[in-house]
Structure 1
């Protein structure tokens, strides 16, 4: 089940914690001591470490991961957080692609279904609250720069460069990117059917 069971008991400092993370040098390990060095000494604040692990910011040992470092770029941190939320709560997003727009009550009900009654009402309430608090800080309409960069590279191309193969799979290059086009041939013993298919393929690739 792609549904984090890590949650906060209070979200009042969540935005401040993320701001502090962005403005601090990434630690070798994100520990309670590091969190306290950022002036977050409450026991409820310590729960954010588990949430960061669930979001893929930290590994199981608390070491910052690639997503953590991308988050430090303030121009894309909200988008990185949105990406992390959609991945961590993927089961919820399979039910509703706009899960972050749902009310807390709706989120709680959907989490109850996803957890198949394995979580108490109190825990479900905290998970819903945590999800909602994270969603308020995220940008779901803007993809992180890593994904946008690939599209910019594709836009730099003038013409696609087709390369034919002999296996029913065609490869096209576009701005340094490679696309494989796989053809599933129909079941037929008539050679004219295959001739027509490959003739059409050649015509489209050469456009």
Structure 2
């Protein structure tokens, strides 16, 4: 039986955990959330102090993390949504980075930018924003009122990662969360270097998608890589 919520609680306060979560409503913005924020926070806290499994599945969650019951159900889908797990439950490199002291903040920032992309479209430094600004963004994206409990759940889920992301190096994280130049250009470059088959004057066009940032050093790094790897 779910715990009763205090109807006078302010929007944005960390909601109490429900023992039996209700199915999530379809909310504009496609942002992940759980009605059991405390349980999800406990699961995230266990990632750095536990082994990395070949597959992060229900058995691992129940046995190693010792998180069971209905409130554990949203944990795996949210970890997939933020890029810590692949669709089949395999931990990604960001999961591994989160296990390290040096990479935890950057991995948490990646999780926020991946799972809550709409918030970062409104504020690229959302991970450093205070509660009221995040709630304002959630209200704007979802169309819900500030008093809607879903707003509190979304903020609570966001805040689980925000607590770790405060100390992230924004410049490095921006590069890490964008496709690398080699990933974008390598297939075309390989075709361009192949010997022509009976045709002369073949040309190739490379479309480069640049990350949205005001940091000129990121662009310098990208174009330096293009010069070193493609322009020979």
Q: Normalising to structure 1: TM-score of the pair?
A: 0.60
Which of 161, 178, 197 is matched with 2:229 structurally? 178
Tell me how far apart the structure 2 counterparts of residues 50 and 32 of structure 1 sit (CA, whole Å): 11
Residue 47 of structure 2 corresponds to 21
Q: In the aligned structure 2, how far is the partner of 1:58 from the partner of 1:141?
A: 23
Any idea what SS the aligned residue of 1:23 has?
coil
CA distance in 2 between partners of 1:2 and 1:20 (Å): 28
Determine the structure 1 residue equivalent to 2:80: 53
Residue from 111, 128, 131 that aligns with 1:84:
111
CA-based RMSD: 3.8
Measure how far apart 1:112 and its partner are.
2.1
Q: How many pairs align?
A: 161
- CA separation in 2, counterparts of 1:62 and 1:120? 35
Higher relative contact order (CA 8 A, sep 6+): 2
**How far, CA to CA, are the matches of 2:84 and 2:225 in structure 1?**
33
| Structure-2 residue corresponding to 1:124 | 151
2:188 maps to 1:137: no
Would the alpha carbon gap of residues 76 and 177 (structure 1) be closer, same or farther in structure 2, given more than 3 Å must change? farther
Instruction: Note closer, same or farther for the CA distance 1:107–1:177 as it changes in structure 2 (3 Å cut).
Output: same
Aligned to 1:192: none
Of the structure 1 ranges 107-116 and 80-89, higher mean CA displacement relative to structure 2 is found in 107-116
The one-character-per-residue Cα deviations of 1:8-52 (angstroms, maximum 9, x if unpaired) are 5223661x4334222333223222321122222353344222221
Instruction: Please say which of residues 83-92 and 43-52 is displaced more in the overlay.
Output: 43-52
Query: Given that residues 56 and 84 in structure 1 are in contact (C-alpha distance below 8 angstroms), is that contact kept between their aligned partners in structure 2?
Result: yes
**CA gap 1:19/1:108 in 2 versus in 1, 3 angstroms:** closer
The gaps in structure 2 that reach 5 residues or longer are 1-27, 177-202, 206-222
Judge conservation of contact 2:80–2:86 (CA < 8 Å) in 1: yes
Equivalences for residues 152-167 of structure 1 within 5 A: none
In structure 2, distance between residues paired with 1:110 and 1:178: 40
Q: Structure 2 residue aligned with 1:63, among 80, 90, 95?
A: 90
- Mapped to 1, the partners of 2:53 and 2:74 lie a distance apart of 17
Q: Give the alignment's TM-score, normalised by structure 2.
A: 0.54
Q: Which runs of 5+ in 1 are unaligned?
A: 148-166, 181-207
Q: Rg larger in 1 or in 2?
A: 1
- Give 1:89 shift: 1.4
Counterpart of 1:110 in structure 2 is 137
How far apart are 1:107 and its partner, in Å?
A: 1.9
Deviation at 1:131, TM superposition (A): 0.7
Classify the secondary structure of the residue corresponding to 2:89.
coil
Per-residue CA deviations over 1:97-121 (Å, capped at 9, x if unaligned) read 2212333333223212212449992
